[in-house]
Amino acid sequence: MAIDSEERTEPISLRRAQRGVLARLRRVRQRIRAQLTIEGLFWVITAAGAAAAASLLLDLAFRFSLPTRLALLSLAIGGIAAVVVRRLVQPLLVPLSDLDLADLLDRRLPGVGQQISNVLQLPELVRSEPLASPSMVSAAVAECAQALDRVDLMSTLNTPRLGKLLAGCAAWIVLIAVVWMLWPATISLWARRWLAAADVRWPQNTYLEVIGLNRDGKLLVPRGEPSILQLNARPTFRATDQGWLLENRDAPLLVESPEMPRSQPPEQISIAYRLADGTRKRGNALQLGEATFNYELAPLGEPVELHLRGGDDWLGPIPVEPIDRPAVAVLEVTALRPGASDSETTTIGAGTEQPIYQRETKLELKLVASQPLQAAEALSDGRQLSGWDRVDERTYTLRWTMQDPLALEFRLVGEHGGLASQPYFLSIGLLRDREPRLTMRSSGVSRRITPVARVPLAIHATDDFGIAALSLELERTQLLEEKPQSDSSSLELAPGNQGTDAPPRIDVLLDHELKLAGHQLAPGNLIRLRSTATDACALGVQQGFSRWLAFQIVSADELFYEILTRQREQRAKFKLALDSAKQQSVALETVATRDEAAAIARAQSVVNRQVWQTFNQLDASLQEMTLNDLGNPAARELMQSGIVTPLETLHSGLLARLGSVVGDLMAQESVREEKRTEAVRISQQSVQAMDAILAQMAQWESFVDVINQLKHVIESQGKVLEATEQLDKQRTKDLFDD
């Protein structure tokens, strides 16, 4: 155990080797920190010198204002502080431990870092690791220490760079001293402007002033009009205790000089400003004399600030405030229309259209200006109108009776400054009351009707001021002794006014059913219908007419035969649709692909469309039969319940469902059996319903034929009875005559 304890004791040679390496590392660390300090100082001096040189040169070129100098000085101080922290403080705060130095040295001398680490860390194995061999550790440490003794660690440092940094610092110090000695006044003024924040200017050759500034230092120009800016390059200075004061600028300029400054006119003066919409304007003033310049400003609607520069002088911002010329603030027209008891007032320009009035309308125009007026004129064709009266300093009125259109021109002169307004024009038109406009159309019947027909009419009447009365004119034409003769009648219609005190309606929509039973019409007659209306014009009643609607009076049998013919045509088309539906029903039983389903869907769509057309035609025929009193109520009811209603139900029910199911078949990649079965079932039901409707059509025609035959039998019997009665009368007459 004693031998083992001796073996674990760290030899004195190891500690000596470690102390030697640590001493060399300490000298390297000190040398590195010294070099970092010198390098940091060089960068700090360079940053400060560059900032000072840049501020001097830029200030001489651009003549910065005090706020700009303070802002730039803050930025420069911030930049120098950042250089101090980054280049001086942070490098000196780096810990640079022994192992860190070993790593740095290893980058310049590969292998040295590992040798330093062996010397510093291998002896720790003797104390901490029981299995470590002291002799092997000592041999390794001794070998690494001997290798390090042969290496010059200081050679890894950049000694020439250190010399350059010291030379650079010395160069900056010499440069600053030379500049101070050569231009002491310039450096002193620079120090006052930048370090003492003194608001003094560099010596100038040119001094400018703006002519026409008011006491507040503003330039007043007409709003919205071009204006002239006048500049003087040889201003007059005023002597003060502090120096020479120059006014008529953005701010009074104090020049520190024992003698009054001399101003040399520049070659050009540039002007820059920004409009309210953000548009930048730039230009050069026009030189009129040796020292006078003019510049035309763009029309201004909002205040702007001018910036001027000429030679080595600059001005700005100089406020430019537009002044309003007098203008029309309110323009009202009060009108008393003919026949009206109350007047109405219209504000011109408040979202209204051009004012128009009838003849004999009493008008009063009221004009209110935007500011007090010195004078105002109202002109028509260049002549002053009579009746133009002044109410107060801003208000004028004009009264007249409307006879012809007027084109008025107003000219206002402002009390403040005597500025004249821009010409203001107003057109007042003459409203011509037109006669009423009417349209009339019929529905439910054709142009061939029976003598007892009911004709539904839709009448639409409009007028500029209102419909006072509405009527319907009927003109009948018949042949008497082979010559056409006409007679007419009129039927008053209610225009739909709400009570007797309500104003007439401007737009009238009226539905009226004309019954021809009481008008003694006979087959062969021609009747024409038109609607008429009178308006509520205060200057005189006017009448308007619609176009004529012409109808031919035919016998009930003739019209009934035409309708039956159309119904038979529809039955034939419906039968074709039924045949097609049967074919599609059979095709649905074997459909297997999407293309087959698509073909069936197209054919089924044609069937659906034909069924709907048949329904519409038969429904219209039923309505025409009802309005012309054809057939009898039982026949019409049979057609409604047995044909028309089932057709509508078929189209909206079974056929709509069939179209949806067939559409689902077409939308699938492969035809599903349950969908195909459902389509077949609905198709068969549709075919059965169509068969039933077709049978009802045939039954209804048979029913109508029976009724017509009975009617003809009755008519024949009536004729026979009438002939028999006439024969009896004739025999009796002959008997008594004899």
Q: Give tens-digit pLDDT for 577-618.
A: 888 888 888 888 888 788 888 888 888 889 899 999 999 998
Is 60 exceeded by the pLDDT of residue 165? yes
Q: Read off the amino acid at residue 505.
A: R
Is 70 exceeded by the pLDDT of residue 481? no
Is 60 exceeded by the pLDDT of residue 671? yes
Nearest-CA neighbor of 49 among 177, 166, 189?
A: 177
Residues 6+ apart with CB under 8 A from 728: none
Map out the domains of the chain with their CATH numbers.
Answer: 2-181 (no CATH), 203-323 (2.60.40.10), 328-430 (2.60.40.10), 437-554 (2.60.40.640), 557-723 (1.20.1420)
| CB-CB contact of 271 with 298 (8 Å) | no
Q: Which two tokens stand for residue 181?
A: 């000695």
Nearest-CA neighbor of 294 among 232, 207, 205?
A: 232
Beta-strand pair 549-553/454-480: unpaired
The residue with greater pLDDT, 95 or 706, is 95
Kindly report the backbone phi and psi dihedral angles of residue 114, in degrees, each rounded to the nearest multiple of 5, phi listed first: -65, -40
Residue 4's pLDDT band, with cuts at 50, 70 and 90, is very low
Average pLDDT score over residue span 408-418: 79
Residue 423's pLDDT band, with cuts at 50, 70 and 90, is confident
Q: What is the pLDDT of residue 69?
A: 85
| CB-CB contact of 325 with 223 (8 Å) | yes
Q: What's the pLDDT tens digit per position in 490-547?
A: 888 877 555 556 667 888 898 888 888 888 888 888 999 999 988 877 777 888 899 9
∠ Cα 723 728 731 (to 5°)? 125
Q: How much of the chain, in percent, has pLDDT values that exceed 90?
A: 6
The residue with greater pLDDT, 341 or 118, is 341
Residue 281's pLDDT band, with cuts at 50, 70 and 90, is confident
Average pLDDT score over residue span 407-426: 80
Is 60 exceeded by the pLDDT of residue 460? yes
Q: What is the pLDDT of residue 152?
A: 61
* C-alpha to C-alpha distance for 248 and 310, rounded to whole angstroms: 16
The residue with greater pLDDT, 378 or 12, is 378
* C-alpha to C-alpha distance for 3 and 443, rounded to whole angstroms: 134
* C-alpha to C-alpha distance for 618 and 472, rounded to whole angstroms: 31
DSSP-H helix ranges across 629-672: 633-639, 645-650, 656-667
3-state helix, strand, coil in the chain (%, to 5): 45, 25, 30
* C-alpha to C-alpha distance for 105 and 627, rounded to whole angstroms: 118
Per the prediction, the chain carries an average pLDDT of 80
| Largest CA-CA distance found in the chain, in angstroms, rounded | 193
Which one-letter DSSP state was computed for residue 542?
-
Does this model's pTM top 0.75? My answer is: no
Q: What is the pLDDT of residue 5?
A: 42
| CB-CB contact of 336 with 297 (8 Å) | no
The residue with greater pLDDT, 722 or 492, is 492
Is 70 exceeded by the pLDDT of residue 727? no
| CB-CB contact of 391 with 364 (8 Å) | no
Is 60 exceeded by the pLDDT of residue 677? yes
Average pLDDT score over residue span 149-162: 66
Average pLDDT score over residue span 388-393: 89
Residue 7's pLDDT band, with cuts at 50, 70 and 90, is very low
Beta-strand pair 383-384/389-390: unpaired
Is 80 exceeded by the pLDDT of residue 50? yes
Nearest-CA neighbor of 141 among 14, 10, 8, 6?
A: 14
Q: What is the pLDDT of residue 497?
A: 56
Q: What's the pLDDT tens digit per position in 236-261?
A: 888 888 778 888 887 888 777 778 88
Average pLDDT score over residue span 292-310: 88
Long-range contacts of 721-728 (CB under 8 A, 24+ apart): none
Q: Which two tokens stand for residue 680?
A: 């077949």
| CB-CB contact of 333 with 355 (8 Å) | yes
* C-alpha to C-alpha distance for 59 and 64, rounded to whole angstroms: 6
Is 50 exceeded by the pLDDT of residue 384? yes
Q: What is the pLDDT of residue 616?
A: 92
Q: Read off the amino acid at residue 334.
A: T
Q: What is the pLDDT of residue 704?
A: 65
DSSP-H helix ranges across 371-429: none
H or E element at residue 696: helix 673-737
